[in-house]
Amino acid sequence: MKQYDVVIAGGAMTGASLALALDTLSKGNLRIAVVEAVSPEQTGHPGYDARSIAMSLGSVRLMEQLGLWSFLAGEATAISRIHVSDRGHPGLARMSASEYGISALGYVIELAQAGSVFLEQLSKRAAIDLFCPARIHTLHREQDVVSLQLTNGESLQASLLVAADGGVSGCCAQLGIGHQSLDFEQVAVIANISTALSHQGEAFERFTPFGPLALLPMSQGRSSLVWCISPEQQQEVMGWDDETFLAQLQSSFGWRMGKMVKTGQRFVYPLSLRQAERRVSHRFAVVGNAAQTLHPIAGQGFNLGLRDVVTLAEEVVAGYQAGEDPGSTAILSRFRQRREPDQAATVAMTTCLVKLFANEHWPLVAGRNAGLMAMSVMDTIKAPLMKRAMGQVDR
């Protein structure tokens, strides 16, 4: 049976980031295993598929501290401006990096490209073992260890098991840790879009009768589309040919980037808020989407998960260096206490935005447009939202 300090279930961006953070902060003194079901190079990997993520400035700073940003920077597209509007209404807000004296408000990372970067980094760390393809078949917790049997026949023991295995966590299910769910009654249509005019680093969030629509700047002049629609519209929208899809998107978005000229393959994902009922348990912690899966409206999901990751790594390494067991109750309690305020505030913000902007009742429409107009002229309103959007929050 192989012995580890920490075993991480899930090797996509959250799990890989945690492994690399633990290794970096401990200077290679912690023994770490990552158990991942699907090779990152495999087409259709659920953690490294066609989607992109908006990485906040705060997340970039965390990656820099861990020495990881230099490996991702070449794959990133800077967000220099953000344009928020409500179709058919006067509300409009603009934000730019120059307002805040910074080079970018955030960056867009393509998950498929990030997968190869993280896989390469994991392979270079002597203290990290990657078990892939493999899943945790059974797990058993004792007072001092967690014993794991993998689907590939390997047996592992660890002081701490961390679930970073996505919104429907197999580890949580095995341990009887349930989730609270809120169905947003929306699905997200994802595609990469080419337009006649360059995005020039501008990101757009537009609220339409279909639902929120975001276009994020990508490499080669493309934009990453996230278009939230009702489940009843899914079959119709996914059934459109490319020409019809682009025409409907043009009608909803407008002409700020000229003609919509090309779309890549479309994917669709159901949208809900899922929160683990417990973030920590005996020798067990939950991070990233396994802890909370958010609506993509404000691009906060990975950024919130990364703050989980770095905080857990800090507490585990600090405790280990002080002679504590990496899976001790004291370490996990400190992690939970540090993370609860940020998690609650970010979940509340994104959920309120969904409810506000997915509703076409006139009083809410008038209120949100007044808010957008106020944001455009009053920094006291815009600053707190921008601070959280840029990930500049306490951990």
| 272-276 long-range Cβ contacts below 8 angstroms, 24+ apart | 272/181, 272/182, 272/183, 272/184, 273/181, 273/182, 273/184, 273/347, 273/350, 273/351, 274/167, 274/179, 274/180, 274/181, 275/179, 275/180, 275/181, 275/347, 276/169, 276/172, 276/177, 276/178, 276/179
Q: Is residue 307 part of a domain?
A: yes
pLDDT at 42 over 90: no
Percentage of residues in the chain having pLDDT higher than 90 = 69
Average pLDDT over residues 154-173: 97
pLDDT at 30 over 60: yes
CATH, residue 351: 3.50.50.60
Average pLDDT over residues 254-273: 94
Q: Is residue 43 part of a domain?
A: yes
Average pLDDT over residues 365-393: 56
- What is the domain count for the chain? 1
* pLDDT at site 73: 93
User: At CA 37, angle to CA 8 and CA 132, rounded to 5?
Assistant: 80
Count how many Cα atoms sit within 13 Å of the Cα of residue 358 in the half-sphere of its side chain: 19
Greater model confidence, 370 or 324: 324
pLDDT at 48 over 80: no
Q: Is residue 130 part of a domain?
A: yes
Q: What single-letter DSSP state applies at residue 132?
A: -
Q: Is residue 40 part of a domain?
A: yes
Greater model confidence, 119 or 372: 119
Q: Is residue 85 part of a domain?
A: no
Which residue range is the domain that position 162 belongs to? Answer: 2-52+111-181+273-357
pLDDT at 41 over 70: no
* pLDDT at site 295: 87
Provide the 10 A C-beta neighbour count for residue 259.
12
Q: How confident is the model at residue 85 (pLDDT cuts 50, 70, 90)?
A: confident
Q: Is residue 212 part of a domain?
A: no
Q: Is residue 379 part of a domain?
A: no
Greater model confidence, 325 or 395: 325
Query: Which range among 63-77, 108-122, 346-360 has the greatest average pLDDT?
Result: 63-77
* pLDDT at site 374: 47
pLDDT at 366 over 90: no
CA distance 347 to 275: 9
Greater model confidence, 43 or 291: 291
* pLDDT at site 60: 94
* pLDDT at site 90: 56
Q: How confident is the model at residue 297 (pLDDT cuts 50, 70, 90)?
A: confident
Average pLDDT over residues 346-351: 87
Q: Tell me the pTM.
A: 0.90
Q: Is residue 60 part of a domain?
A: no
pLDDT at 352 over 90: no
Express each pLDDT in 183-192 by its tens digit. 999 999 999 9
